[in-house]
Amino acid sequence: MPNSAGSTREMVKIAVKGWGEREVPAGTTVMEALKELSGKLYKEAMAVRIDGTVVDLSTPLREDTALEVVTFDEPEGAEAYRHTASHIMAQAVKRLYDKNVQLGIGPSINEGFYYDFDFGDTLTVEDLEKVEKEMHKIVKEDLPLERLEVSREEAINIFRERGEDYKIELINGLEDSDRITCYRQGDFIDLCTGPHLPSTGRVKVFKLLSLAGAYWRGDESRPMLQRIYGTAFPKQKMLEEYMQRLEEARRRDHRKLGRELDLFSLHEEAPGFPFYHPRGMIIRRELERFWQDEHRRAGYVEVETPLILNRELWERSGHWEHYKENMYFTRIDDEDYAVKPMNCPGAMLIYKMGMHSYRDFPLRVAEMGLVHRHERSGTLHGLMRARSFIQDDAHIFMLPEQVEDEVEGVIDLVDRFYSVFGFTYHVELSTRPEKSMGSDEMWERATTALRAVLDKKDISYKVNEGDGAFYGPKIDFHLQDCLGRTWQCGTIQLDFQMPEKFDLHYIGPDGQKHRPAMIHRVVYGAMERFLALLIEHYGGAFPLWLAPVQAVIIPITDRQHSYALELEQLLLSHGVRAELDDRSEKVGYKIREAQVQKVPYMLVVGDREVQSRTVAVRHREKGDLGPVSIEAFLADIKKEIEHKS
C-alpha cells in the first residue's frame, strides 16, 4: 500500500483464533482488523486476548500477533462492557451535578456495575431516571474511549484540576507504578487500567437499579459515599431476563422468608448476630445430624474447643499478626484473650495432648465450632454475612505421602453432600497471597499437591493467583443455585505452616520425630450462610427431611378432632414432625395457610376418613393425592425422609 511519498507501509500478520490469518498495515487497530475480517466478529467483540492479557479493541497492531476475540459471553468480555457502562454513568453524574460531586471508584461486578460518589446533596432513587436519561445521550454521542498513559505527576495534576481528591489518593497509593493509566471519553476522564469498549455507542442496553451507602475504601472511619448500582447487556431480551431473575431473587430473599417462615431474626441490639427461632433450630439440627452421620462414616472423630483463648496462642498461630483486625478481644485476669475467629488453634492443642505414631494417620478431627469475626457493618447481610456463625470445620493430620489421598477423600465427601441438596458447583484453586507465612518451597509443594489431585480426578478449575489463605493454598467449591448465582461454601486448605508453628510431630517407622502435614476443610462453610443459601435455593419450600413441619393435620369440623389428635400423636411417635391445626377456620383457609408456610403434606380428615381410618392427602406442589390409609402414608413419608428425596 503506497503512501504519498511512494514508500510501502510495513505489513504485520495477525492470527485470529478460529478465524485464520491475514496481513494488515502496521498500526492498524484490532477493531479495524476485525471489521475487515468479519462484520459479525467485529460486532460481537468486547476486547481481545493477546499473550494471555485482555486488551482494548483500540490497541494498535505493530508486530505479528496471535489474538483471541473476547465476547460478552466470557467474564472478561462482560467486564469490559459493564466497566464502560460504569464510566458512562460517572460521566452522566458529573454532567448533571458538576462541582457538587467527587468520583470514588466504579468497577464492574457479577451481572452489573456500580460507582461510588461523594455528593454535596443526597441523591434519591427518583434521581436515577435523570442519570439514566443523560447516559442515553452519552451513548448516542458515541464518544471514543481513549487510553492514556501519563506520569504520576501528570495524573495528579489532571485530577487536581478537576477537584478529584479520591483519585489523587488512589494514585498516591500506586507506589510501584511510574506510569498511570487513564481513560478519556469526551470531557470526562477517569483513573482506570481498562480494558474498555472502543466507544460509548457500543453500550446498547442498561438500567440503573438502586442506591446504597458505602464507606470510602471500606473503612468505617472514612466518609460515607453514595453507591449507584446498575447493569448492562448487549440485548434488551437479556436485560428483561435479568430483571425477572432479580424479581425472583427478591421473592426468595432469605431475610424475607426467614421472617415469614419464623426461622430466625436479626436485632439492632446485636447487629450481625443471628437469633434462631424454634423452626430454624429444627433445620439447623437436621443439617448438623446429617453432617455428623456422614463424617462418622468417613472416619472422622468429633471434638469441641473453647470460645475464648489467650493471646499467646493466637500469636503462635499467626492470627494475631495476619488476622487481628477481624477479631474480638477481652481481658481475663489481666491477660489478653481473643474470641476465636477460627477453630484450628484449638485443634492443635488437642493434637499436642498425645504422642502420635505414623500408624495413627490419617487422623481426621471434626468440629462444629462457633466462631466470631468482626465484619464491617456495611458488609453485613442477614445470614449470608454475619459476625457469629458455626463453621463445620475439620482438621486432618497425616503423613506427607497421604496428602493427595486425603484431599481426594474430602472432594468425594463434598460431592456427596452437595448432590443431596441438588447443587452443581465449580472449583477454584487459590495460590499464595502477598501477606503469608512460610517458605517458597513449602508453598510450591502444597500447591503442586492440590493441582495433582484436581488433575487426577479430571476436575476443571479456575486459578486465583494470590487468593490463598495466609498459611496455605486452597481449593474452593462454588455452588450454583436455582437462579444461576454462585456461592463459595466448601474449601480445602493444605497447610504445612501450622504444624511448624505448633511444633507438631509424630514418631515415624524409624523411631524419630517427624512433622505431619495438615488439611483444614469445611463442607457447609458457615452453617448460617449455608442455611441462607438453602432458603433461597428452595424458596423456603425445604425438602421433606429438612422441613420444620412435615405434615399438618386439618380436621374439617370439631367432630374429627379426636381422630386428628390421634393422628398427630402417631406421626410424632414415628419421628414425623406433625402439627394439628384445630382452629375454627374453614378448611380452604387452613390449606392456604399451610401452603404459605411451605408445609410438604396436608392431611385433611372428615367423617369419611374417620370411618375408614384414612387421610385425604394434599402435597404442596402435586396437589390432591386422594385418600390413603394411615399405615401407607406413614410408610411412604418415613421412606421419603430416610432417603432425603
What are the domain boundaries of the chain? Answer: 11-71, 76-251, 277-305+341-538, 551-643
d(CA 42, CA 268): 53
- Could you give the C-alpha distances from 9 to 32, 57, 225, in angstroms and in order? 16, 22, 52
Over residues 531-581, the pLDDT tens digits come to: 999 999 999 999 999 999 999 999 999 999 999 999 999 999 999 999 999
pTM exceeding the 0.75 threshold for the entire prediction: yes
Please say if 514 is a catalytic residue: no
Whether residue 503 lies in the annotated active site: no
Cα–Cα nearest to 555, from 483, 476, 615: 615
**Chain segment 18-63, per-residue pLDDT in tens:** 787 888 898 888 888 888 878 888 889 999 999 889 999 999 988 8
Q: What's 76-251's CATH class?
A: alpha beta
Kind and range of the H or E element at 289? helix 278-297
- Predicted local distance difference test score (pLDDT) of residue 5: 45
pLDDT of residue 34: 86
Confidence band of 70 (pLDDT split at 50, 70, 90): very high
Q: In whole angstroms, what is the distance from residue 201 CA to residue 233 CA? A: 13
Strands 101-103 and 112-119: antiparallel
Q: What share of the chain is helix, strand, coil (3-state, %, to 5)?
A: 40, 30, 30
Q: Does domain 11-71 have CATH number 2.60.40.10?
A: no
Please pick, among 373, 432, 521, 618, the residue that the annotation labels catalytic.
373
Whether 395 is a known active-site residue: answer yes
CA atoms within 13 A on the CB side of 316: 17
- Tally of residues, the chain: 645
Which tens digits make up the pLDDT trace of 96-129? 997 789 999 999 998 999 999 998 778 888 899 9
Q: Distances from the Cα of 479 to the Cαs of 59, 288, 422, 628, in angstroms?
A: 37, 19, 10, 38
- In the set 91, 102, 226, 391, the catalytic residue is 391
Is 344 catalytic? The answer is: yes
What percent of the chain shows pLDDT beyond 70?
A: 99
**Is the pLDDT confidence value at 3 over 50?**
no
Alpha-carbon span 473 to 452, nearest angstrom: 13
Summarize the confidence of residues 470-482 as an average pLDDT: 88
Choices 3.40.50.800, 3.40.50.11900, 1.10.510.10, 2.60.120.330: CATH for 551-643: 3.40.50.800
Catalytic-labelled residue, pool 252, 372, 395, 432: 395
Active-site annotation holder among 56, 190, 393, 581: 393
Type of residue numbered 258: G
| Annotated active-site residue in 474, 529, 577, 618 | 474
Q: Which residues pair with 24 in a beta bridge?
A: 12
For this structure, is 391 an active site residue?
Answer: yes
In the structure grid, which three cell numbers stand for residue 470, read together?
A: 495466609
Q: State pLDDT tens for residues 217-252.
A: 888 788 999 999 999 999 999 999 999 999 999 999
d(CA 143, CA 7): 34
Q: In what helix (H) or strand (E) does residue 578 lie, and over which residues does it extend?
A: strand 578-580
Angle between helices 127-141 and 75-97 (to 10 degrees): 110
The span from the CA of 407 to the CA of 391, in Å, is: 19
Q: Which of 600, 519, 292 is nearest to 417 (CA)?
A: 292
Closest CA to 352 of 526, 558, 505: 505
And the C-alpha cell for 109? 461486578
Q: Give residue 9's pLDDT.
A: 66
Concerning whether 116 is annotated as a catalytic residue, the answer is no
* Amino acid 80: pLDDT: 96
Q: Is 285 a catalytic residue?
A: no
Range with the lowest mean pLDDT among 77-91, 116-130, 585-599? 116-130
- pLDDT of amino acid 8: 57
**Secondary structure of residue 32 in the 3-state scheme:** helix
pLDDT of residue 496: 82
Confidence (pLDDT) at 1: 40
Instruction: Tell the residue number behind the cell numbers 467485529, with chain if given.
Output: 42
Q: What is the arithmetic mean of pLDDT over 429-452?
A: 87
CATH number of 277-305+341-538: 3.30.930.10
Q: 252-298 pLDDT, tens per residue?
A: 999 999 999 999 999 999 999 999 999 999 999 999 999 999 999 99
Helix (H) or strand (E) holding 602: strand 601-605
> Which residue of the set 82, 190, 207, 344 is catalytic?
344
- pLDDT reported for residue 7: 46
Task: Identify the active-site residue in 520, 529, 577, 590.
Answer: 520
Peptide bond into 274 cis (omega under 30): no
DSSP classification of residue 106: -
Provide the edge-to-edge strand list for the sheet that holds 461-464.
Answer: 300-302, 363-372, 388-398, 517-526, 486-495, 474-480, 424-430, 461-464
Considering only CA atoms, which of 110, 117, 111, 56 is closest in space to residue 91?
117
Of 33, 20, 25, 27, give the one whose Cα is nearest residue 61.
27
